[in-house]
Structure 1
Amino acid sequence: MTSPPPAARVVELATELDAELREIRRAIHANPELARMEHETTALLLDRLRRAGLDPRPLQGTGLVCDIGDDPREQGRRRVALRGDLDALPVPETTGLPYASRRSGVSHACGHDLHATAVLGAGLVLARLAEEGQLPVGVRLIFQPAEEVQPGGARDVLEQGAMDGVGEIYAVHAAPKIDCGLVGSRIGPITAASDNVTVRVSAAGGHTSRPHLTGDVVYALGHVITQLPAVLGRRLDPRAGANLTWGAVHAGQAFNTIPTSGSVTGTLRCLDEQTWERAGALVEEVVGDLLAPFDVAVELVHVRGMPPVVNDERSVHVIEAATREVVAEDAVVLTEQSLGGEDFAWYLTHVPGAMVRLGTRIPGGPAYDIHRGDLLIDERAIGVGVRVLARTAQLAGLRPSSPHAPVA
């Protein structure tokens, strides 16, 4: 263990990039792209990293990785990864900003434009530090596609070997209920497991005056909508926070016709990984039992999403220390475990690491929520994210290699 390089240099280099990174984030924000379609975003990031003298490598389809600093095998140290996600959501933007989405029905309503820009900025800072001999670790930037779909683009990144040789990984996530300048942190689970559940039912259909002559698809769906979450609430440990919430239901077009098919789809979330493992089989059992009396054919589609993000204790200490050094001594706040899902969890099944919540609320201003078209962020959060991620990589490089992930 050696003394860390000065934190002041990280702050200085990050500050120099503030104006440029704000414009880059606005460019990404104005041109949002859905999962696995992030071609323009990937090209923008590739170009900026190459202009910094780096050698980024595109992933298959979209996304990229970029290594910075010496090969860690030469130092007996780990390589640390920083992850940013690229995709937007099929949500219309309603902010009215001059750089609002130019693509109808698509927007960066989850802050991935912020995440990607913060990782880019951290990479540019770390590249300068490497030139100055102030980077005691190899760093890999991972710009990941398709975080917003199940089971998540992180699986694609892992399958392409982008984590080979990485011993630790870090990320930030926009938190519009936390003031800009604060970082929400937590040891252990910080998100929930999240799956997609769809139930499709079908029957012969017929006239609403003769429901006894056919399976009543709409009535059967109503039973699933109300009773499946209720049964899960009694069959699963309530301490696990299991929650099934429906997001869409489709059946029929005419008021006097029983349709031939219909479907309901939603998300199943669990705070506890063991309960998540049990829940799938239980959903299948309960759906079959609930619909058995209604003379309908049933198809259950249960798409496994991702486990909870479980932050490693030592990694949390590193990113909290970095935050206190480059933001403020009182900048770290405890955050609660969320029922939201995040495919960053898949990286943490391979190596230790941590994700923290990056405050984006304008202090004193309204609290927005993610996945809404009116989301506004305090753009000063970009610089906060850059400083935190860059300093975290520096400090992580001073730790002995993890026994869970030896250097390749």
Structure 2
Amino acid sequence: MSELAQTRTTEHATAAVLAEVDRLLPQLIAWRRDLHAHPELSYQETRTTSFLADTLTAAGMALTPLPRTGLIVDIGASEPTQRVALRADLDALPVPERSGLPFSSTVDGVCHACGHDVHTVAVLGAALALKSVEAELIARGLAVRCIFQPAEEVVPGGAHDVLEFGAMDGVDRAFAVHCDPSIDAGTVGLTVGPITAACDAVDVTLTGPGGHTSRPHLTADLTFALAKVLTEVPSVLSRRLDPRSGASLVWGQVDAGHAANVIPATGHALGTLRILDADEWRRIDGLVEQAVRDVVAPYQVVAKVDHVRGVPPVVNDAAAVAALDRAVRATEGDQAVVPTRQSLGGEDFSWLLQSTPGALARLGTRTPGGATYELHQGDLVVDESAIGIAARLLAVAALDGA
């Protein structure tokens, strides 16, 4: 195909895709609300997977199930010269919903507090729109692989399943979006280079003989030792790691004892270690465990430390960001592109980008003039206009090719 013919084919396909997303938008919103009302935890996304399978099959697409939950669908050329991947994550969080929305979670203690319901429907909308111009994709030798990935919220996450399954084999470029409730709906945050941080899980268990609080000198004061772990280990890391790496160890779960006058025999702390610098993250192996053991040594307790390596930073490829930039400007206008900074959030899309260039975009979900919400909280409310924006963005970025 000549360059002029390819340009005309792409322009026609782009216009058709945008029209199809607009036509689908009421249905996409309804699907998102259904997914939001029925959230599923990591590797339990059976209902979500079945919904996707039914919807995509009805549109004439052949599916490939992933080993546990989730699936893959390919659109376009069977032997492509270029293959682009669009990735969505399916899982919810063990967080009770308190948004008050009429389609709030019907599952006790579980909700879509990170916007994965939006990500899923956005890629679904892009897939359906791209299927409507499959002839143009085939004519260009372009294939689009939509990956509906489970278990992004756990460490290690479902990206490893995707890689082990070979879903990234032959992919030339990959795109994903992530909801950002700190920027307005109608805008998309883009940056070249690191956009997220490395993120690990740190699990500390202390054990001792236990005893009476009147005689801490005759036993091991385990609660005091655990408090030292909570406060001192982050301080130790701040002096053992380059401060420019942006390392941050924050505890999210702490448990020890059940009575005021009993020194417990066990205590537990679970947290996340986040590091902006990938090289420093790779060098940290063993340091957390050493710091915990050194801190508790004077208190005669035994420490078990499980430092689970999670995800490296997402590093956005410049050419992939340029494709997203063109897509945003083409679909939403020049004003829709806004700068964004690297955050300490973790995202296992980073594993998919270890050998394949790609980019993650921050999808504005705050209603202009409305409240600013926080991710991973039960009161998260998403401006639903972001659903169409994300579907258009991903579909047009895929048409941009590799």
TM-score by length of 1: 0.94
Give distance in 1, aligned partners of 2:136 and 2:164: 34
1:309 is aligned to 314
Aligned partner of 2:109 among 105, 109, 123: 105
2:111 corresponds to which letter in structure 1? Answer: S
Distance in 1 of aligned mates of 2:139 and 2:371: 39
1:5 aligns with 2:11: yes
The aligned runs of 1:6-405 (5 Å cut-off) are 6=12, 7-73=14-80, 77-131=81-135, 136=140, 137-395=142-400, 397=401, 399=402
Counterpart CA distance in 1 for 2:137 and 2:282 is 46
Task: Report the CA distance between 1:165 and its aligned residue.
Answer: 1.8
Structure 1 position 71, deviation (Å):
1.9
Find the counterpart in structure 2 of residue 402 from structure 1.
none
Instruction: Indicate how the Cα distance of structure 1 residues 349 and 132 shifts in structure 2: closer, same or farther if over 3 A, else same.
Output: closer
Deviates more, 1:284-293 or 1:252-261: 284-293
Unaligned runs of 5+ in 2: none
Tell me the residue number matched to 1:403.
none
Three-state SS of the structure 2 residue aligned to 1:71 is coil
Cα distance in 2 between the residues matched to 1:201 and 1:133: 58
Deviation at 1:133, TM superposition (A): 5.5
Distance (Å, rounded) in 2 between the aligned partners of 1:378 and 1:257: 50
Q: How far off its partner does 1:200 sit? A: 0.9
Distance 1:195 1:16 in 2: 42
* Percent identity of paired positions between Structure 1 and Structure 2: 53
Matched residue type, 1:58: P
* Residue range with higher mean Cα deviation, 231-240 or 379-388: 231-240
- Counterparts of 2:382 and 2:303, CA distance in 1: 44
| Aligned-partner Cα distance in 2 for 1:165–1:357 | 26
Tell me the distance in 1 between the aligned counterparts of 2:54 and 2:167.
20
Q: Could you give the per-residue CA deviations for residues 153-194 of structure 1, whole angstroms, max 9, x where no partner exists?
A: 101111111222212110000011111110001101000000
- Whether the 8 Å contact between 1:129 and 1:135 is mirrored in structure 2 is no
User: For the residues of structure 2 that align with 1:132 and 1:197, how far apart are their CA atoms?
Assistant: 49
State the aligned residue count: 394
Cα deviation, residue 314, structure 1: 0.7
> One-letter code of the match for 1:347?
L
Contact 1:5 1:134 in 2 (8 A): no
| C-alpha separation in 2, matches of 1:326 and 1:10 | 11
Report if aligned partners of 2:76, 2:138 keep a CA contact under 8 Å in 1: no
**Secondary structure class of the residue paired with 2:335:** coil
Aligned amino acid, residue 183 of structure 1: V
Q: Conserved in 2, the CA contact under 8 Å of 1:72 and 1:79?
A: no
CA distance in structure 1 between the aligned counterparts of 2:78 and 2:64, rounded to whole angstroms: 16
Unaligned runs of 5+ in 1: 400-408
Q: Tell me how far apart the structure 2 counterparts of residues 105 and 131 of structure 1 sit (CA, whole Å).
A: 45
Match of 2:11, as an amino acid?
A: P
* Preserved CA contact (<8 Å) 1:126 1:135: no
Q: Say which SS state the counterpart of residue 214 (structure 2) adopts.
A: coil
Partners of 1:230 and 1:140 in 2: CA distance: 45
Q: Is the 8 A contact 1:322 1:388 kept in 2?
A: yes
Instruction: Classify the secondary structure of the residue corresponding to 1:288.
Output: helix
Distance 1:348 1:45 in 2: 24
Aligned-partner residue type, residue 78 of structure 1? Q
Aligned AA (2:296): L
Tell me how far apart the structure 2 counterparts of residues 72 and 138 of structure 1 sit (CA, whole Å). Answer: 8
TM-score (norm 2): 0.96
Query: What secondary structure, in the 3-state scheme, does the structure 2 residue paired with 1:5 have?
Result: helix
